[in-house]
Structure 1
Amino acid sequence: MRSILIVPIRPVDHAELTALVTPLSNAFEIPVSIEESNYLDPAFAFDSYRNQFNSTSLITALLDRYPAQSGKIIGITAVDLFVPVLTYVFGEAQLDGQAAVLSTFRLREDLYGLEPNPKLEHIRLLKEAVHELGHTYGLIHCHDPECVMHSSTSAEEVDVKGKNFCGGCEKFLRGL
């Protein structure tokens, strides 16, 4: 059965994951569940030189842990993620693949010296979860600045884009 599995990667706020289930199910029109008993420890992906965690290594671990998963997998964490060619990433996904990873770390207001804003941070997390999962369905970055698939390199850019797919991305996603 097609589905999306949310895998908690320590540390993570379980309430944030629970709040994603219904909106992700609505966005992709498939069941979404949370792995309740098998949290992933990201210590193996830590790069002491950068003081960050390698997102590609986390994706590999998700694929190793869930090889028979028939749907999509998204690991969610609160650690700072990177890929070697970039200073940081909000997340990473296999294009037209099975797995993605996403962090709340750079989506938090307090990282930028501002007061925490849980509502805004939830919206950011939802947008980026939809974005990364969109990549697993074969969607690439969109030129429409209001589309959730528009590339974001800062939290402010996440705020500006919409939370939904544009018409073209929606059409691609639904296979029309």
Structure 2
Amino acid sequence: MPSSIHILPLKPVVLEVLPLLVEPLVSIFEADVTIAEPEGRIVPAVLDDSRGQYNSTDILRSLLERPLPEQCKIVGVTSVDLFVPVLTYVFGEAQLDGTAAVVSTYRLDNVMYGLPADPVLFYERVLKETVHELGHTYGLVHCRDIDCAMHASTAVEDIDVKGASLCPACRRAALSAV
């Protein structure tokens, strides 16, 4: 059975970038890719008022509670700032070898760093992080190949350096995980 990927816009979200993700994700994961209608705002319960950020693990947990067809992955995409308690921020989080991932575009926008907007660079960053987090759901861990989207990223500059696709070894592993 072919796998499928369900992109779930979680408000607030930059909707314009989502359709641009479909074709590359279809190609990389050989999966059917759909974009859902945007949902209401992320529940305030996952907001940590002292940090002004949203707990990505709580969002991930809510995504995991959704009924999904067999062999379906879900990736929530949002524009809020995400964190896990042990880190200052995260670009995203995923359930390793599971079904759900979440990606934040908040720190992927040049404007966040006081730089002029760059829509092409923004799209490339969103694509790389979406591939990266979805890769984790296919059982992939961080890769040493700097050209691979599974290469670890702790800063936005790390995202800019790595590739948007999977290296041959990671792609084989992802496709065999289906």
Shift of 1:46: 0.3
Q: Deviations over 1:48-99 (max 9, x none)?
A: 01110000000111122x2233300000000000000000000000000000
AA aligned to 1:45 is V
TM-score, normalised to structure 2's length?
Answer: 0.93
In the alignment, which residue of structure 2 is the partner of 1:69?
Answer: 69
TM-score, normalised to structure 1's length?
Answer: 0.94
In the alignment, which residue of structure 2 is the partner of 1:11?
Answer: 12
Query: Which secondary structure does the structure 2 equivalent of 1:86 belong to?
Result: coil
Comparing 39-48 and 158-167, the one that deviates more = 39-48
Query: Which secondary structure does the structure 2 equivalent of 1:116 belong to?
Result: coil
Matches within 5 A, 1:1-176: 2-36=3-37, 38-39=39-40, 41-64=42-65, 66-70=66-70, 71-175=72-176
AA aligned to 1:54 is N
AA aligned to 1:36 is E
Unaligned runs of 5+ in 2: none
Q: Conserved in 2, the CA contact under 8 Å of 1:92 and 1:101?
A: yes
Comparing 15-24 and 80-89, the one that deviates more = 15-24
Q: Deviations over 1:15-58 (max 9, x none)?
A: 11121111111111111111116445242210001110000000
Query: Which secondary structure does the structure 2 equivalent of 1:20 belong to?
Result: helix
After superposing on structure 2, the runs of 4+ consecutive aligned residues of structure 1 that deviate more than 3 Å are 37-40
Identity between Structure 1 and Structure 2 (%): 51
**The structure with more strand, counted as a fraction of residues:** 2
Distance change >3 Å, CA 40–CA 96, structure 1 → 2: farther
Query: Which secondary structure does the structure 2 equivalent of 1:85 belong to?
Result: coil
